[in-house]
Amino acid sequence: MTHGDHWAAIDPDHERLIEEMLSVVGTKGRVVGRSNTVVGDGERQWESEVVGLRYPADPLGFLGLVVARDGRREMWTAFPHAEGRSRSTLIVERIEPEGNGIEAVIHVGMPDAGGFSVSDPLYFLDKDHLEEGREAAFRLSAVAYGLRKCEPVSLTGGPLFEMLREEYLEENPDRDPAEVTAIPISVAGTACLFPEEDADAQVMFRVDEVYTFDCGRPVTRLSGVVMRSGEDRELRIDVYASAPALDGYVPRVGDEVQAVVWMQGVLDR
């Protein structure tokens, strides 16, 4: 996915949203950090001060990264920036910088639980503190492209169905095997994260907290555990879903939900 898709996750009319927010970010945005670093435009590289501006101050805002080029300051990129509240210690497996030098996809891992990727919107601040093969403490969040309540699942065929059907019949010998044509699967308490490309992922989790606010568009923050490891560690994230992403669904604490998301992660400072 591209930043255009990330804006569209907040408002399908993303061009209007971008036009609306860019000028406000540039004039009212709060400075979240500045750093001298090497940047590139595809043709050349040079050292520049990079300044991050964020507006509004809500849990989900919009971040613009300003770079100096040829004596002028230009907003090179801008995108939704989601605040993460829970601290997670992860192994930095690989760092994949973007061509501009100020953004990156960080491939991380959790012991005994697998790996996934996050986009670091503050890479221009974090890059000197990240090292492949070392642990780092992150604050994770995600922007949902779409989110819905999990529906009951029933298997009607396949190897897993046959295995569960056999177990069910052993536990219920009075049942007629011919009548057992579907096996219900519970999703209660499910915590799953299936990584996709470019820091995207599919997640399933039980909602622990719901908070709705307005950052120029109505947005709902849902919190929950999306991964557990054999070391009794949990990976908890805040997922931000716009009204279009929810498509009429009203989340409640205790709901089991699934979503396709853009994962973000910044170093915990």
Pairwise CA distance, residues 71 & 66, whole Å: 13
pLDDT surpasses 80 at 119: yes
Pairwise CA distance, residues 77 & 52, whole Å: 10
Tell me what the mean pLDDT of segment 77-81 comes to: 96
Q: At 157, is the pLDDT very low, low, confident or very high (cuts 50, 70, 90)?
A: confident
DSSP symbols for 136-178: EEEEEEEEEEEEEEPPPEEE-SSHHHHHHHHHHHHH-TTS-GG
The per-residue pLDDT for range 179-237, each reduced to its tens digit, is 888 888 777 778 889 999 989 999 999 999 999 999 999 999 999 999 988 767 899 99
* pLDDT of res. 64: 97
pLDDT surpasses 80 at 158: yes
pLDDT surpasses 80 at 160: no
Q: At 177, is the pLDDT very low, low, confident or very high (cuts 50, 70, 90)?
A: confident
Q: At 18, is the pLDDT very low, low, confident or very high (cuts 50, 70, 90)?
A: very high
Please state whether beta strands 135-149 and 234-242 pair in parallel, antiparallel, or not at all (unpaired): parallel
Pairwise CA distance, residues 58 & 101, whole Å: 27
- Per-domain boundaries in the chain: 3-81, 153-185
